[in-house]
């Protein structure tokens, strides 16, 4: 396993004004190496989503430093961050956000159109290969609305991989799934780490899920325990 960090967070502080100042993140520092599968857990309201928003470069209003793939994100313009998000970060959410009017294959290809890495033909091939890796290539020509909830989440994971991201950031990716589909998603993540040396960061409430990851980062009241 290559030991280069995919993500480094140093002294991340975040406050909201509601209307008085409330400190939500109180100096978060940690790093995740290439090929690590980490989970962030903690009680409701401890700051997990706020942290993930910052780590995924969506929220730039914080104190501290963030490096993705050894590149400093802090102080980059919104245009530069949009580029980083598309090229280096794969997103998986609780809800799949597939476009119903497109086929499964097209949905997987979509983030690839914003990148200059591949031609359309290459994207199509890549999307199909990803679906195959996830065991759902038979669904590729179906419309997104024709597939089940568990399958949709697998399609969303394939989509998150289309631009060869450095890291997958996942917010409650199994929150809407039953135990069988949760297990399937876990095995897929494990395989992405094993086969492609991907780095995966998952925010989850599911203890059964987190305890099987390489490392659990437990938050309490805005800090890492
Ligand atoms: N825009 C905002 N303005 C003021 N307070 C906020 C804002 N967003 C979040 N908070 C507060 O910040 C704290 C952390 O919220 P966050 O959503 O990060 O928690 P969480 O650990 O992800 O919770 P959950 O597990 O319930 O999703 C909460 O107390 C929340 O009320």
pLDDT tens figures, 20-37: 999 999 999 999 999 999
Question: How far is it, in rounded angstroms, from Cα 11 to Cα 62?
Answer: 10
- The response to whether residue 44 sits with its C-beta less than 6 Å from ligand 1 reads yes
- The response to whether residue 24 sits with its C-beta less than 6 Å from ligand 1 reads yes
Q: Answer yes or no: is 117 within a domain.
A: yes
Q: Answer yes or no: is 54 within a domain.
A: no
Burial of 68 (0-12, 13-18, 19+ CB in 10 A): buried
Residue 23 CB neighbours (<10 A)? 13
Q: Which of 90, 89, 110, 91 is nearest to 99 (CA)?
A: 110
Instruction: Give residue 37's Cα distance to chain centre.
Output: 11
Q: Which of 66, 65, 136 is nearest to 103 (CA)?
A: 136
Question: How far is it, in rounded angstroms, from Cα 90 to Cα 97?
Answer: 13
pLDDT by position in tens, the chain (length 225): 457 899 999 999 999 998 899 999 999 999 999 999 999 999 999 999 999 999 999 999 999 999 999 999 998 999 999 999 999 999 999 888 999 999 999 999 999 988 777 889 999 999 999 999 999 999 999 999 999 999 999 999 999 999 999 999 999 999 989 999 999 999 999 999 999 999 999 999 999 999 999 999 999 999 999
**Site of tokens 């910052």:** 54
Query: What is the span of the domain harbouring residue 146?
Result: 36-46+77-224
**Site of tokens 């290969």:** 129
The secondary structure element, H or E, covering residue 133 is helix 120-133
Q: What is the CA(21)–ligand 1 centre distance, in A?
A: 14
First to last CA, the chain: 26
In total, how many domains does the chain have? 1
Q: Answer yes or no: is 5 within a domain.
A: no
Q: Answer yes or no: is 87 within a domain.
A: yes
Tell me which residue has its CA closest to atom 26 in ligand 1: 44
Give pTM, 2 decimals. 0.92
Query: What are the φ and ψ backbone dihedral angles of 150, each rounded to 5 degrees?
Result: -65, -40
Q: Answer yes or no: is 52 within a domain.
A: no
- The response to whether residue 210 sits with its C-beta less than 6 Å from ligand 1 reads no
Q: Answer yes or no: is 197 within a domain.
A: yes
Q: What is the CA(49)–ligand 1 centre distance, in A?
A: 7
- The response to whether residue 149 sits with its C-beta less than 6 Å from ligand 1 reads no
Q: Answer yes or no: is 20 within a domain.
A: no
Question: How far is it, in rounded angstroms, from Cα 152 to Cα 194?
Answer: 22
The CATH number assigned to the domain holding 93 equals 3.40.50.300
Q: ipTM strictly over 0.85? A: yes
Peptide bond before 115: cis, by omega within 30 degrees of 0?
no
Q: Answer yes or no: is 10 within a domain.
A: no
Q: Which of 140, 104, 109 is nearest to 124 (CA)?
A: 109
């Amino acid at each position: 396993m290559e030991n280069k960090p995919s993500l480094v967070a140093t002294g991340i502080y975040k406050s909201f004004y509601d209307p008085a100042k409330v400190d939500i993140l109180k100096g978060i520092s940690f790093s995740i190496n290439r090929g690590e599968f980490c989970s962030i857990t903690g009680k409701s309201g401890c700051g997990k989503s706020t942290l993930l928003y910052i780590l995924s470069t969506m929220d730039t209003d914080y104190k501290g430093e963030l490096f993705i793939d050894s590149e400093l994100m802090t102080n980059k313009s919104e245009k530069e961050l949009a580029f980083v998000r598309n090229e280096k970060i794969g997103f998986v959410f609780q809800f799949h956000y597939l476009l119903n009017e497109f086929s499964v294959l097209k949905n997987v290809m979509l983030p690839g159109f914003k990148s200059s890495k591949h031609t359309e033909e290459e994207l199509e091939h890549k999307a199909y290969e990803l679906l195959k890796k996830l065991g759902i290539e038979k669904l590729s020509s179906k419309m997104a609305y024709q597939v089940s909830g568990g399958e949709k989440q697998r399609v969303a994971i394939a989509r998150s991989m289309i631009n060869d991201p450095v890291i997958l950031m996942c917010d409650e990716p199994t929150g809407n799934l039953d135990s069988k589909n949760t297990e399937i998603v876990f095995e897929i993540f494990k395989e992405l780490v094993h086969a492609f040396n991907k780095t995966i960061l998952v925010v989850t409430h599911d203890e059964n899920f987190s305890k099987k990851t390489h490392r659990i980062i437990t938050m309490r009241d805005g800090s890492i325990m």
